[in-house]
Amino acid sequence: MISLEHIHSLTDFRRNASNYVDRVRHTKTPLVLTVNGEAAVVIQDALVFQNMLNRMEEMQEELRVMKLEALQHQVAVGINQLENGQYAEYDEETLPDFFEDIKARGRQRLTQRGEE
């Protein structure tokens, strides 16, 4: 969260750019510049910004790996269930009921989460 002391007008920044740049470099705290009273841009130390980008890339890779591991686990569970006969077969008559059941469970989960 950026505090009010780090929000300044673009006009003021233009008048005192070198002071603001020195301040950002020293404090490593970003500045929000406003135009007509609304936030327009953020000025941030380049190294801090690059570190943030690097961390986001690392987190994206960690998330990708976690998703892959979860998918592999679910596939393994499915294979195990198939091998142990824990499955149901459907035909043209029963398949619509199967899909309705899936939809109903999905709606129920959304309702439980308050997202519907």
Adjacent-strand bridge partners of 42:
32
Q: Torsion-angle region of residue 114: left (phi > 0), alpha (psi -120 to 50) or beta?
A: left
Residue length, the chain? 116
Q: Output the pTM of the full model.
A: 0.65
21-50, pLDDT tens digit by residue?
Answer: 999 999 999 999 999 999 999 999 999 999
- Give me the torsion for CA of 16, 18, 24, 30, rounded to 10°: 50
Which CATH fold would you assign to the domain 4-44? YefM-like fold (3.40.1620)
* Residue pLDDT, tens place only, 42-85: 999 999 999 999 999 999 999 999 999 999 999 999 999 999 99
Where along the chain do its domains lie?
4-44, 49-113
Helix (H, G, I), strand (E, B) or coil at 53: helix
